DNA sequence: CATCAGGAAGCTC
DNA sequence: GAGCTTCCTGATG
């Protein structure tokens, strides 16, 4: 019997993570990473390339074709962020076959601790040590996929991760310091754990339940044995985080929303070209994807492949990541990731609590995607638990009204019931809202498995169930 | 007195 | 039908 992930005592039926199968072999991991958008690694590979990929039809290199290519100069070239001064930038150059066009370098904010796994989701080049590489405009373009590493050094990866986790645990021990847990992302995780790609890519299915060590017959030797599920879980978590960072960076560079549904035709163009450039894919004629984001989302993988025989799969896989991230955004997970660091209160105020209700309402209602996209929330179509998490995510503004007592266990306290109720009422256009009604709604969550009673009953203290506390 | 707990009915989407 | 909202009674600290 395979072991399974221990569940929280109140996992809601609809949100249970279940016992999904995840790929276990390096070959499958590699496929997973490719689906995240990384280009095929150079030979030799850990696995044979999928046989169904046909040789690309040669694109005409006449002037008419070149004119149909997207205009790279139209992209914004944001200057390096000032709040993360130590983070270097990477100026990406287009692939050499097309460098006869006039391109402007695109500056990407690179993060120093970017995961250094070849063929990984990150489209940004890394030096062999994992630090960033700057490409001057004179440099010849290098493939975004690191060429210097060809294998996943999973042991080293896990060692680093273990050190990281130990340091985090150390922080937990420190009294009175709240440590923000690394955000998990249920939907992205689901996308990553989806093994339907095994079927699509004619891979040998390798069932493994999350948290188990059950292995099918292994022909991969010691490398396979080394990949037990908890380790894969960590890799998945890192992959998720990486994907989100990549989405964030792309949003910043292109000035587009993280939600593909919001994309205009020109946004789609920008995204297609950006993705093609990053993954060193063959150029795609502009008219093949002349549509808005909603239409793009509606395309099937086959339709992507018809439009772009070589790039279609990667583009489709990337869009899947963005679509999953869009759901994360909706769930409010994106908010905390993109939220700018707390800014000082305006001079006219002595504390955030002096803010007017209107400003409270606004700050609690429009924080999604403040980091650079165009999407605004603030809709009345928000669940109470999401709203509470919004408030909890802004301790610099709402810390006096509601705050985490135990972030890791989802325990929070309403410090000012009147204020929280008033904010909720404003958001829902319910002027008569009061704490009595709000608390009644919270109590409804007990049945639904969204919240639970705390072990020791305390006034105004509630607890989210997993995974709602994430 | 404020809060907790939960039943019941109504409203909105 | 879901997700509240509103109103209610009774219990608790």
CA atoms of A55 and A200, how far apart (whole Å): 18
Query: CA of A457 and C1' of B7: distance in angstroms?
Result: 22
Whole-number pLDDT of residue A440: 94
CA atoms of A331 and A312, how far apart (whole Å): 29
What are the beta bridge partners of residue A406? A411
Structure tokens at A1: 């019997």
Whole-number pLDDT of residue A405: 92
Q: Which of A245, A281, A251, A283 has its CA nearest to residue A267?
A: A251
Residue carrying structure tokens 């919001």? A262
Number of C-beta neighbours around residue A148 at 10 A: 10
- pTM for the full predicted model: 0.34
The DSSP element (H or E) to which A413 belongs, if any, is: strand A411-414
Number of C-beta neighbours around residue A79 at 10 A: 8
Q: Which nucleotide is nearest to A436 (CA to C1')?
A: B3
Number of C-beta neighbours around residue A423 at 10 A: 26
Whole-number pLDDT of residue A464: 92
Max CA-CA distance within chain A?
74
In the predicted model, residues of chain A with pLDDT beneath 70 are 1-243, 249, 252-253, 255, 324-379
Whole-number pLDDT of residue A231: 53
- In the 65-104 stretch of chain A, whose C-beta falls under 7 Å of nucleic acid strand C? none
Strands A461-464 and A411-414: antiparallel
Task: Kindly determine whether the C-beta of residue A442 is less than 7 Å away from any atom of nucleic acid strand C.
Answer: no
Whole-number pLDDT of residue A161: 53
CA atoms of A66 and A397, how far apart (whole Å): 52
Is the CB of residue A267 less than 8 Å from the CB of residue A26?
A: no
User: What are A334-362's pLDDT values in tens digits?
Assistant: 333 333 322 222 223 333 433 444 444 43
Whole-number pLDDT of residue A240: 64
- 3-class SS of residue A278: helix
Query: CA of A383 and C1' of B9: distance in angstroms?
Result: 21
Whole-number pLDDT of residue A361: 40
Q: Which nucleotide is nearest to A447 (CA to C1')?
A: B6
CA atoms of A160 and A179, how far apart (whole Å): 19
Task: Kindly determine whether the C-beta of residue A417 is less than 7 Å away from any atom of nucleic acid strand B.
Answer: yes
Task: Kindly determine whether the C-beta of residue A456 is less than 7 Å away from any atom of nucleic acid strand B.
Answer: no
DSSP letter assigned to residue A283: P
Query: CA of A377 and C1' of C6: distance in angstroms?
Result: 27
Query: CA of A436 and C1' of C10: distance in angstroms?
Result: 15
Distance in angstroms between the alpha carbons of the first and the last residue of chain A? 29
Structure tokens at A82: 């000032």
Distances (CA, A) of A268 to A244, A263, A272, A371, A427: 19, 6, 6, 20, 32
Query: CA of A424 and C1' of B13: distance in angstroms?
Result: 18
User: What are A276-286's pLDDT values in tens digits?
Assistant: 877 878 887 77
Whole-number pLDDT of residue A327: 54
Residues 6+ positions from A95 with CB-CB distance below 8 Å: A141, A277, A280
Task: Kindly determine whether the C-beta of residue A436 is less than 7 Å away from any atom of nucleic acid strand B.
Answer: yes
Task: Kindly determine whether the C-beta of residue A440 is less than 7 Å away from any atom of nucleic acid strand B.
Answer: yes
């Amino acid at each position: 019997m395979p072991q399974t992930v221990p569940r929280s005592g109140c996992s809601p039926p609809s949100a249970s993570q279940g016992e999904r199968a995840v790929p276990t072999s390096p070959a499958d991991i590699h496929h997973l990473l490719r689906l995240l958008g990384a280009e095929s690694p150079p030979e030799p590979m850990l696995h044979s390339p999928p046989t169904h990929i046909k040789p690309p039809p040669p694109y005409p290199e006449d002037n008419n074709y070149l004119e149909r290519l997207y205009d790279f100069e139209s992209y914004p070239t944001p200057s390096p962020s000032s709040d993360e001064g130590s983070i270097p930038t990477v100026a990406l150059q287009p692939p050499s076959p097309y460098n006869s066009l006039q391109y402007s370098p695109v500056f990407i904010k690179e993060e120093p601790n970017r995961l250094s796994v070849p063929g990984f989701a990150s489209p940004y080049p890394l030096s062999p040590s994992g630090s960033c590489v700057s490409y001057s405009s004179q440099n010849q373009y290098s493939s975004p996929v690191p060429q210097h590493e060809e294998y996943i050094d999973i042991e080293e990866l896990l060692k680093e991760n273990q050190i990281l986790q130990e340091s985090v645990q150390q922080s937990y021990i420190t009294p009175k310091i709240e440590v923000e847990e690394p955000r998990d992302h249920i939907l992205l995780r689901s996308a990553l754990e989806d093994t339907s790609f095994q079927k699509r890519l004619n891979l040998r299915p390798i069932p493994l339940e999350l948290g188990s060590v059950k292995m099918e017959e292994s022909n991969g030797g010691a490398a396979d044995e080394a990949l037990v599920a908890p380790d894969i879980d960590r890799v998945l978590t890192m992959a998720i985080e990486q994907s989100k960072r990549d989405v964030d960076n792309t949003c910043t560079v292109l000035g587009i929303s993280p939600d593909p549904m919001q994309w205009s035709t020109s946004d789609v163009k920008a995204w297609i070209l950006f993705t093609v450039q990053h993954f060193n894919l063959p150029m795609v004629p502009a008219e093949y994807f002349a549509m808005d984001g909603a239409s793009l989302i509606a395309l099937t993988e086959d339709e992507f492949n018809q439009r772009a025989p070589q790039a279609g799969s990667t583009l489709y896989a990337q869009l899947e990541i963005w679509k999953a991230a869009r759901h994360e955004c909706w769930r409010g997970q994106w908010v905390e990731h993109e939220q700018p660091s707390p800014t000082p209160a305006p001079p006219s105020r002595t504390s955030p609590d002096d803010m007017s209700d209107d400003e409270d309402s606004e700050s609690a209602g429009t924080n999604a995607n403040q980091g650079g996209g165009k999407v605004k929330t603030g809709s009345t179509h928000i669940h109470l638990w999401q709203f509470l998490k919004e408030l909890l995510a802004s301790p610099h503004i709402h810390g006096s009204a509601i705050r985490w007592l135990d972030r890791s266990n989802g325990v929070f306290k309403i410090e000012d019931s009147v204020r929280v109720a008033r904010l909720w009422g404003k958001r829902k256009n319910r002027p008569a809202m009061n704490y009595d009604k709000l608390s009644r709604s919270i109590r409804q969550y007990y049945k639904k498995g969204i919240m639970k009673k705390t072990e020791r009953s305390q006034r105004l203290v509630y607890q989210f169930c997993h995974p709602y506390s994430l």
